[in-house]
A and B are shown apart, each in its own frame.
Chain A
């Protein structure tokens, strides 16, 4: 079964990491620094109860926040230092999950990001995360 297309205005994000390509595609909308990201939940992403797996949400968060971190440092090399995840409500196959990562703060070497992930306007997942810009003390 072909999954439903993304909402109008979303285009496919160019992913590089093999694990992100494995769980993708991921879509985006908007200009650099204010990109909104989304994906359609499918059968690969759910657990045996038919509910989205927490690992999929955290992986999507890592992918989307990685893109936002890139935007915040002009594509320097960045790594995730920490991610705090709260699982608020279930999502199921067919749902469109999206997030607008918010840049909380950028220092010389660190990037602080947070975001609420929604399905039809309902928050299902909430993340805050710290990133390191490599090669900077």
Chain B
């Protein structure tokens, strides 16, 4: 499934099927770039804070969904649970911009996945995150 109407590249796949993922999203998976898994979120009215920037909770949600999806993919497990997530808020993002989350695997063990991610708009950094997932 692809959608170019909201500025996403052809081939973008909607990965928000229900629950909070869809309520907060939708979130799209883009083509990998080498070992980097990429996700996109077009910023809408509902994602904003009162100061005209994207809400921090939405940025952490986007990181969590992108990193959880990556954990499942690289571990092959049916599910992975977020154990910890640390996020630094580096700069603002505005209505109508397309956020991109780029996820890297730091280490995969038998039971855990260590990940890092950066969220940006084009070359402009918006947030960076690291986290730990338990394979369940």
Contact = CB atoms under 8 A, between A and B. Distances in A.
B1 interface: no
> Which bracket fits the contact residues of A?
35 or more
B47 A18 contact: yes
B89 A84 contact: no
B23 A23 contact: yes
B86 A85 contact: yes
A59 to B, nearest CB: 3
Q: Which of A45, A49, A54, A56 has the most CB of B within 10 A?
A: A54
Nearest to A77: B51
A80 interface: yes
Contact of A86 (B46, B83, B87, B88): B83
A16 interface: yes
A22 B57 CA distance: 11
A82 B63 CA distance: 14
Interface residues of B, number: 34
Nearest to A45: B20
A83 B56 contact: yes
A77 B52 CA distance: 13
B19 A53 contact: yes
Contact of B60 (A44, A49, A59): A59
A132 to B, nearest CB: 9
A47 B82 CA distance: 12
A87 B48 CA distance: 25
B46 to A, nearest CB: 5
Nearest to B81: A87
B120 to A, nearest CB: 17
A56 B88 CA distance: 18
Contact of A59 (B57, B68, B79, B84): B57
Q: What are the 8 A-B residue pairs with the smallest beta carbon separation, nearest first?
A: A59-B57, A55-B61, A53-B20, A19-B55, A16-B50, A58-B60, A17-B49, A62-B57
24 contacts: A17-B48, A19-B48, A22-B24, A23-B57, A46-B19, A48-B19, A55-B20, A55-B57, A55-B58, A56-B20, A56-B61, A58-B60, A58-B61, A58-B64, A58-B87, A59-B55, A62-B56, A63-B57, A79-B56, A79-B89, A84-B85, A86-B84, A87-B82, A87-B83
Interface of B: 17-21, 23-24, 45-51, 55-58, 60-62, 64-65, 68, 79, 81-89
